Amino acid sequence: MPTHEHLRLILEYLWIIPLLPLLGSAVNGLLGAKWPNKFVTGVALGSTGLSFACALEAVREFFADGQASFRKEFFDWIIAGNFRAGFDLQLDQLTVVMVLVVTGVGFLIHIYATGYMAHEGGYYRFFSYLNLFMFFMLILVLAANFVLLFVGWEGVGLCSYLLIGFYFLKKSAADAGKKAFIVNRIGDFGFMLGMFLLFRAFGSLDFQTVFAKAATWQPDAMGQFGTLTIACLLLFMGATGKSAQLPLYVWLPDAMEGPTPVSALIHAATMVTAGVYVVARSHVLFTHAPTAMYVVAIVGCATAIFAATIGLVQPDIKKVLAYSTISQLGYMFLACGVGAFGAGIFHLMTHSFFKALLFLSAGSVIHAMGGEQDMWHMGGLASKIKVTFVCMFFGTIAITGFAPFAGFFSKDAILFAAYQSENSGKTLYGIGLLAAIFTSFYMFRLVWLTFGGEKRYDEHHVHVHESPGSMTVPLMIHALLSLVGGWFAAPALGNGPNYFADFLAPVFGNAEAPSSQTHSLELTLSIVAVLAAALGLIVAWRMYSGKVVRGTSTGLHKILYNKYYVDELYQATIVGPLVWLSRNIFWKVVDVGMIDGSVDGIAHGTEAVGDTVRHTQSGNVRSYAVWVIIGAIVILAIIFWPLWRPAFFVAMSGGVR
């Protein structure tokens, strides 16, 4: 649209971007039930598409303003004493990336969903939820203070709960939803504590003030647990919850119960990255808390390898992708942990591209297979569904990190940053590299099991067919993105500028400016990474190309197959005792005994009092007359007290005076 240079059309009204999805959600949620699907589709796509357009316009204006970080307080939300939580939105480089990712990928996935969900019940409900998720996600990324961010944070949690449990008649789905919600609660608990601590430390929760003050603080020493460290750890606890890191990752695999578009949008592209976003957003705090940074790095690294190992043996196509997501998120945290926030965000973006792509392709496959998710019942689909296959392959290459795909650049940047990190950087790098090998292995395993070899399914029941355009077009776009998505950083290899890093520099400061002497090292490391991916590819090819049979799982394989028995462990150590406590103490003792007891006690007490008092209501006029007289005596005494007091005192003082 032709707009004047410094005419900020959207920027001044930034709230439009989140508002549009909210309206779409409201309209669909309230009216959609009666509507034919195409209306609902129109509303959903229209709102998100418009939102995307507005975001683009906003970004354009942002650049027109010379990338000046924009911030505006629209209205006061909570004001209590010196505490202020306003509806404040801000737009800086980091936000730009996030907003574009959210709206763009979200829009594409909406389009995809219209095809994928076409024959599902509760069509309007699905899109209402999905738009609502868009709204909260945008709030989350646009928020200019922790409170508003937390609103988005909780909102996306809610939507993820609603969408995981979309098929709420299926018990497993409902349980998965609850699991996700509860596990997130634990993280959110830490997050809130972190917020409180920050408010106590800085007297505000506004990003500007908090970070400005924090910047002036003396950074904690390594191993020292100062206020900032603790606050950062608490925030990170929230992040682990939301972004499915150890030890709170358990909800994400189960979240695959939800429809595949949901898995793609929420549990791959956007929501799960919120944790990374928060850590990156509050990088000022983290840089002042090296201990926290170290913890973040370790957790991220551990999660990466841990999830990757589990992913090696999973039979369910979506489960594999889920664990791969977890491990990729681990990479991002690893990046943040070693101070390479830019790289983390970079990987976040590219990951959102190719992981969404992978999920959508998987969804397409499942669609084609008529709901079949077990890879052992697939195979030889490459010829049947070529588009999907190609896209899937693109995604696989991207994630495994072959140049020149997106994953190559981002993962390379992370590993390089890890290698450079002074505290136990080599170890982290090594583990990261191992995880990379595993990644490429299970990804290619997935590809070969699904598309390669001969078919292991029954022709007569399953009619494999290519998905409609509404699904394949987003696939292609994503495939393209996962190809080119990383080229911002391409020149860095040729000793050129890393555009992405430079773009984010105003936010993070030039944390990892590539210096010339490290440049050769970076090049070698990237080559090593590619070799590692190739290794994984070769092993997968040896094992899964050609005829494969499902072997009986034993030993290590069995442990991996059962995900290290983590769920069982939690069940035994936490859930079981908790349930027992709730049932036997909180319910039977506290609730029934104390709460109900007190309430009933009040009722019984009232009844008893009334029972005794009612006898004054004898209905006998003479008794009433006596009561009237008593009242009269009291009133007279009150009125005439001043009149008699002197006499009274005289009497008290023995009549003297």
> If binding is defined by CB under 8 A, does position 632 make contact with other proteins?
yes
Q: Contact at 8 Å (CB) between 11 and 31?
A: no
Rounded Cα gap, residues 262 and 257, in angstroms: 10
> If binding is defined by CB under 8 A, does position 620 make contact with other proteins?
yes
> If binding is defined by CB under 8 A, does position 633 make contact with other proteins?
yes
Q: If residue 75 lies in a helix (H) or strand (E), which one and from where to where? A: strand 70-80
Residue 610 Cβ vs other proteins, minimum distance, rounded to whole Å: 9
**Token output for 540:** 């997968």
Residue 630 Cβ vs other proteins, minimum distance, rounded to whole Å: 6
Tell the burial category of 555 from Cβ atoms under 10 Å away from its Cβ (0-12, 13-18, 19+).
exposed
The DSSP secondary structure of 362-375, one letter per residue, reads HHHHHHHHTS--BG
Q: What's the angle, vertex CA 459, arms to CA 469 and CA 254, rounded to 5?
A: 65
Residue 221 vs 626, nearer CB to other proteins: 626
> Among 640, 648, 649, 651, which residue interacts with other proteins (rule: CB under 8 A)?
640
Rounded Cα gap, residues 14 and 7, in angstroms: 14
> If binding is defined by CB under 8 A, does position 80 make contact with other proteins?
no
Tell the burial category of 81 from Cβ atoms under 10 Å away from its Cβ (0-12, 13-18, 19+).
exposed
> If binding is defined by CB under 8 A, does position 652 make contact with other proteins?
no
Number of residues counted as binding other proteins (CB under 8 A): 20
> If binding is defined by CB under 8 A, does position 629 make contact with other proteins?
yes
> Among 614, 655, 656, 657, which residue interacts with other proteins (rule: CB under 8 A)?
614
Residue 516 vs 616, nearer CB to other proteins: 616
Residue 603 Cβ vs other proteins, minimum distance, rounded to whole Å: 18
CA 84, 87, 93, 94 torsion-angle sign? positive
> If binding is defined by CB under 8 A, does position 644 make contact with other proteins?
yes
From residue 563, how far is each of 313, 556, 558 by CA, in Å? 9, 10, 9
> If binding is defined by CB under 8 A, does position 622 make contact with other proteins?
yes
> If binding is defined by CB under 8 A, does position 653 make contact with other proteins?
no
Residue 594 vs 647, nearer CB to other proteins: 647
Tell the burial category of 406 from Cβ atoms under 10 Å away from its Cβ (0-12, 13-18, 19+).
buried
The interface with other proteins within residues 355-414 (CB under 8 A) comprises: none
> If binding is defined by CB under 8 A, does position 118 make contact with other proteins?
no
> If binding is defined by CB under 8 A, does position 626 make contact with other proteins?
yes
Rounded Cα gap, residues 87 and 452, in angstroms: 52
Residue 609 Cβ vs other proteins, minimum distance, rounded to whole Å: 14
Per-residue binding string, other proteins, 456-475, x by CB under 8 A, is --------------------
Residue 577 vs 631, nearer CB to other proteins: 631
The interface with other proteins within residues 181-210 (CB under 8 A) comprises: none
Rounded Cα gap, residues 104 and 480, in angstroms: 14
Residue 34 Cβ vs other proteins, minimum distance, rounded to whole Å: 55
> If binding is defined by CB under 8 A, does position 621 make contact with other proteins?
yes
Residue 604 Cβ vs other proteins, minimum distance, rounded to whole Å: 18
**Token output for 227:** 């206020």
Q: What's the angle, vertex CA 140, arms to CA 137 and CA 143, rounded to 5?
A: 140
Three-state secondary structure call for residue 550: coil
> If binding is defined by CB under 8 A, does position 618 make contact with other proteins?
yes
**Span near other proteins by CB under 8 A; candidates 78-86, 193-201, 341-349, 610-618:** 610-618
> If binding is defined by CB under 8 A, does position 580 make contact with other proteins?
no
Q: What is the DSSP letter of 93?
A: H
Residue 607 Cβ vs other proteins, minimum distance, rounded to whole Å: 13
| Closest to 418 measured CA to CA, from 402, 398, 432, 404 | 432
Residue 649 Cβ vs other proteins, minimum distance, rounded to whole Å: 15
**Span near other proteins by CB under 8 A; candidates 11-19, 392-400, 418-426, 636-644:** 636-644
Cis peptide before 474 (omega within 30 of 0): no
Residue 225 vs 640, nearer CB to other proteins: 640
Residue 169 vs 621, nearer CB to other proteins: 621
> If binding is defined by CB under 8 A, does position 625 make contact with other proteins?
yes
Q: What is the DSSP letter of 272?
A: G
Which regions of 248-404 does DSSP assign to beta strands (E)?
none
> If binding is defined by CB under 8 A, does position 623 make contact with other proteins?
yes
Q: If residue 62 lies in a helix (H) or strand (E), which one and from where to where? A: helix 37-64
Instruction: List residues binding other proteins (CB under 8 A).
Output: 614, 617-623, 625-626, 629-630, 632-633, 636-637, 639-640, 643-644
